[in-house]
Amino acid sequence: MGYANMAQRGKGIHLRQFARTFIVGDQTTNDRIVFVSVDAAMMGHNVKRGVIERLAATYGPDLYRMDNVIISGTHTHSAPGGFLSYLMYDMSILGFVKDSYVALVEGIVESIDAAHKNMRYGRIFIDEVDVEDANINRSPIAYENNPQSEREKYGHNTDKKLVQLRFENLDKKVLGAFNWFAVHPVSMNNTNRLVSSDNVGYASILLEKEKNGRETLVGDGDFVGAFASSNLGDVSPNIMGPKCEKTGNSCDILTSKCPKGEGPCFASGPGKDMMESTKIIGSRIYEAASKLLNSKKGREILGPLQSMHQTIDMASARGFFNNSVTNKVDEYQGCLPAMGYSFAAGTTDGPGLFTFDQGTTTDNPLWNLMRDFLAEPTEEDIQCHSPKPILLMTGKATFPYDWTPRIVPTQVVRLGNVVLAAFPGELTTMSGRRMREHIKNTVKSETGDDVEVIIAGLSNLYTSYVATPEEYEIQRYEAASTLYGKHTLTIYLKQFEDITRAMCRNEQLPAGPEQPNLSDKQISLNPPVLYDGHAAGKDYGDVLVEPLLTYEKGDEVYVRFISGNPRNKVIRNGSYFTVEQKQQDGSWKVKYTDADWDTRFVWKRTNTIMGWSEISFFWNIADDAEEGTYRIQHFGWYQYILGGKYRYSGTSREFIVE
């Protein structure tokens, strides 16, 4: 989910998805704040609703609620989709995927349960550090259209600061660290077919390994280290910049096109391939967070716990914009959702289809004809979205159900002198800066307190991008994907000001319009697994390619098994593979799983009619791997042709690492 590329079908696992949770509670008032960072592209309202319903069944309706729980996606583009319930976002996934939805809901609930059971008396500190050479702005020409006086307040056209909350118990033992840094997790490009948490997921693994010990398996251990999303809308990890594929020349800065014969335009990371780029960017983010964490400095977070949540109808909501050209404050209303032409062009991180260009501000009669067949905009709609030419009038597309959301949740929570703004989409760099400043000033005017504002991006619901009104004029991808018109940010600023002000005053606000429940309307074109099979004389788990007898550090172990389809059973809190080391007493100890950076597996259907398939397992032996005797075990389930699913396992022969 993320590149909207229908050819990008999953084939295995590189890095597993995890949900990482912190809970802060005030024992005197029983107020609580919950933040969950999930290795997913974004978050859907139906997922959060499912989580809240399950928490209410366990803890009652008053402890964990819509207003005090934030669920934020890291925005990895290499994790399964099919859980967002709006058609446009699930279209490239061929609709709803129950396995994805259930895994997310149950995994997030388990994460919150674990945090609930492990709460300790403690202290929280906030600190920040600059991360160098980890992000660039992928739409610099749009950023440059923001007022010069505003741009001069900042040293870069992306946010370089990593903000960290450090959690300690009363003995000063660090329990966890949650980090926010603005970067798209798209180091793994759209040719990738393996589930991966990308650069920020790798940073989490490194930080947790550092604090929990090298021997601790990924996902285990007491320390929790998260890298959550912020205002990453126009921010790329592909720091080598966009180039023409065949010549290496620079692409056109507005359209991201290359001259004829020079191939497509795409940006690349600092490594020789996407795996190395992911490792480099993830390592740089981790190293900055580790340095910050180990310094044990920062400002202690003290004060009240508060939360506020309200839904709004973005098409009828209004906001006020200070026009720097006319020096007037004008009021604007939102538009029905629509996507522009440049949306179809994609980005330099993942180019789109057909011949669409970024920066397009004129329409095409042929594309308009096709657009109108799906949902025709009125002249009022066209003027409302101007200068964006409408390619998809998603706000009027309701077959077979709503294409994009119109009712949107907004939420702020306060942890003493820190405010988390849960934003339901992707703010660009300058949009995020305006949002932080606006909330900060609102709190200051109400309470006199100087607070730190953190943008928690891609939270609770996904509504695409939010560019500034000035960036909107340029109609790069981010602007064309700004759903509710030129003044989408203007409306959000007003709304977040309102809920922040009400929170500071301890006022109650109306809940707002109810978000639609589209659960019973979901469709899926994903075919189920009908049956598995294997050749005569063989069985599931049989080894087709055994490992070599001896390996050295730096080598790659390769093993291939007869398998069932991995979709037969979602193995959560487990592994499809284990790398096991033989102990002195003859027992075996698990050293690596399919969640480790150094492992991956790839599934392949070898005979569709007979239902035969194979799984290939790879282990790159790192320099810090222990010498000794090893084996590979594979675990899976097969679908019997007459019904029923059955577990199987397979074990490779022993081999030596020396």
Active site residues: 236
Return the percent helix, strand and coil in the chain, to nearest 5. Answer: 25, 30, 45
Q: Which amino acid is at 228?
A: A
Q: Which of 345, 129, 384 is nearest to 252 (CA)?
A: 345
Task: Cite the beta strand spans of 406-530 per DSSP E.
Answer: 407-415, 418-422, 426-427, 452-456, 465-466
Is-contact 159 231, C-beta < 8 A?
Answer: yes
3-state secondary structure 196-231: CCHHHHHHHHHHHHHHHCCCCCCCCCCCEEEEECCC
Give Dmax (Cα) for the chain. 81
Q: Which amino acid is at 64?
A: Y
C-alpha–C-alpha distance, residues 145 and 139, integer Å: 11
CA distance between the termini of the chain:
40
Burial degree of 399 (CB within 10 A; 0-12, 13-18, 19+): exposed
- Sign of the CA dihedral with 141 first, then 142, 146, and 150 last: negative
> With b meaning 16 or more CB within 10 Å and e meaning fewer, what string describes 529-552?
beebbbeeeeebbebeeebeeebe
Secondary structure (3-state) at 327? coil
Distance (Å) of CA 99 to CA 102, 306, 312, 568, 646 = 5, 35, 30, 10, 18
C-alpha–C-alpha distance, residues 276 and 591, integer Å: 23
Is-contact 4 32, C-beta < 8 A?
Answer: no
Secondary structure (3-state) at 289? helix
Is-contact 67 411, C-beta < 8 A?
Answer: yes
- Sign of the CA dihedral with 475 first, then 480, 481, and 482 last: positive
Distance (Å) of CA 86 to CA 38, 107, 406, 430 = 20, 22, 11, 28
Beta bridge pairs of residue 307: 413
Distance (Å) of CA 126 to CA 297, 301, 354, 419, 424 = 8, 7, 46, 12, 24
